[in-house]
Amino acid sequence: MDRERILTVSELTMYIKSLLENDMVLASIWVKGEISDFKYYQKSGHSYFSLKDEGAVISCVMFRSRARSLRFVPENGMKVIALGYVSVFERSGRYQLYVEDLEPDGIGALYLQLLQLRQRLEKEGLFSPDKKKPLPKFANRVGVVTSADGAAFRDILKVIRQRHPGAVVVLAHSSVQGESAPQEIARAIRALNEYGEIDVIIVGRGGGSFEDLWAFNTEEVVRAVSASSVPVISAVGHEVDYSLCDLVADVRAATPTQAAQLAVPDIEALRQDLALLQRRMRRAMERNIESKWQTVDYFRARRIWAGPDGLLQHQRLRVGELRERLLKAAKSDIDLRRHGLESISGRLDALSPLRVLERGYAVVRKPEAGEVVKGVEKVRIGELLEIILSEGRMTVEVKTKEQGEGWKKS
C-alpha cells in the first residue's frame, strides 16, 4: 500500500470538484428534464429542485441572483431546459447542477409567465363578468391612456371628432412599451380617476409583436384597470391581439378606432334618429286627432244632437213616472207602519193600570211613603191609607183587618 497516495475525504472531494469545474463540457451545459421536489426559500431567495427523466435524477440549485430574473415560476412536473455548470457540494459530497438560466421546454418563458399570471388573477376574480361596469350612453369627456406620438391616439381623436365634435378628450400620455411602460400606464389610469370629470377611459395602443404588447399583460396595469371607478375600454393592438388588459377591462375593443366608436355616441346619427322619432310622433298624433274627430262626428249624427228636446221630454216623463212610484211606495210604507203602531198601542193600552181601575179596582198605599199596600200585615189598626180609584182618591182609617182571602167571601 502506497500511503503517500492516501487522501482525506475533503481532498478527494476537492479533487473531484476541480475535475468537474475544469471540464469544458460541464462548465456550461444545457440539461433537459422534469422539475421535481421544488423548494423555494423566501428568506435566502434560493431555489432547490431536481431534474429527472426516465433513467436518472440530478440535484439542482438556483441562487437568488439568478432566480429573480426568471419570467415564470417553476413548478413540479414542468418540463424545462436548464443552463448551468456541474460542481460538487462539499458538505454532502454530492455533485449537482448550478442553474444560471431556466426556460420552459416547448413554450416561451414570457408566454408561460402570462399564463401563470392569468390563472392567478382569474382565481382572484379580476376577470369576473360581475365586475364589468356599463359604458355611459352619452359620454362627453373621454380620457385616453396611450402615447401622444402614436397612431392610435390620432385614430381615436379623429373618430371622436367625427362622431361627437363637442366631446372633450383628455390625454394621459404614457409609454406603451419598454420597462417603464407598466408603471406609466397604471399611473395614468389612476390620474384620470383622480381628475374626477372623466366619463370613460380608453387604454391602448396600435399593433405590435407579443413582446411589444407586454406592458398590457403586466399585473400592475391589470390591477390599475380593475381598480378604476371610471369604465375602461381596452384597445390593445389589432383584432387578433388579446391581452390581460382586455380581459379585465369593462369592454374590449378590437382596435383603437372601435374603442372611440364605443366611447362616444354618433351625434349626427342621434339627430337623424330624433328627427325620425319626431316624424313618427307627429303622424301618431295626427292619427289620434283624426280618430277623435271621427268619434265627435259619430256622436253629432246621433238623435241627441239633432233633437235634444225630444230626448229631454222622454227623460222628464221618466222622472215623473219614477216620482209617482216613489210617492206610492212611501205612502204604502207609512200606512203599514201606522197599522203596526196602532196594534202595539192597543196591546199596551190593554195592559195599562188605568184600565184595571176602570173595572172597579183600586190601589191602596201609604200616603207618607207612597208604598203600595199588598197585604193586611203591612198596615196597622188606626193607620191612614190612601185609596186611588179610576175617578179620584180618598183617605181612610183602618178599623179592622183580617188575614186571608176575605175579599172572596164578600
Can you give the residue ranges of every domain in the chain? 3-107, 131-265, 356-409
Give the Cα separation of 137 and 130 in Å (integer): 20
Phi, psi of 81 (to 5 degrees): -120, 120
Predicted pLDDT at 241: 65
Contacts (Cβ under 8 Å, ≥6 apart) of 409: none
Predicted pLDDT at 253: 92
Give the Cα separation of 209 and 108 in Å (integer): 14
| Mean pLDDT calculated for residue range 309-326 | 80
Instruction: Report, at the CATH architecture level, how domain 131-265 is classified.
Output: 3-Layer(aba) Sandwich (3.40)
Predicted pLDDT at 62: 93
Predicted pLDDT at 90: 83
Going by C-alpha positions, the residue among 208, 184, 201 that lies closest to residue 251 is 201
Using CA of residue 398, residue 399, residue 402, residue 405, what is the dihedral sign? negative
Per-residue pLDDT of 322-380, as tens digits, reads: 888 998 888 888 888 888 888 887 777 666 676 677 677 788 888 877 787 777 787 88
Q: What is the pTM of this model?
A: 0.52
Predicted pLDDT at 93: 82
| Mean pLDDT calculated for residue range 51-73 | 87
* 3-class SS of residue 81: strand
Per-residue pLDDT of 180-220, as tens digits, reads: 999 999 999 999 999 989 999 999 988 877 778 889 988 99
| Mean pLDDT calculated for residue range 44-59 | 90
Joined grid coordinates for residue 286 = 295626427
Predicted pLDDT at 108: 60
- The better pLDDT of the pair 387, 259 is held by 259
User: Over the chain, what is the mean pLDDT?
Assistant: 85
**By the 8 A CB rule, do 98 and 135 touch?**
no
Lowest mean pLDDT among 115-129, 223-237, 353-367: 353-367
Give the Cα separation of 261 and 265 in Å (integer): 7
Lowest mean pLDDT among 42-56, 199-213, 288-302: 288-302
The HSE-up count of residue 64 (CA atoms within 13 Å, CB side) is 6
The amino acid sitting at 47 is S
**Which residue is it, cell 179620584?**
392
Q: What is the DSSP string of 269-315?
A: HHHHHHHHHHHHHHHHHHHHHHHHHHHHHHHHTSHHHH-HHHHHHHH
Please give the angle made by the CA atoms of 317, 323 and 329, to the nearest 5 degrees.
140
* Domain covering 3-107, topology: OB fold (Dihydrolipoamide Acetyltransferase, E2P) (2.40.50)
Predicted pLDDT at 143: 95
Per-residue pLDDT of 249-260, as tens digits, reads: 999 998 999 999
Tell me: pLDDT of 1 over 70: no
**By the 8 A CB rule, do 85 and 27 touch?**
yes
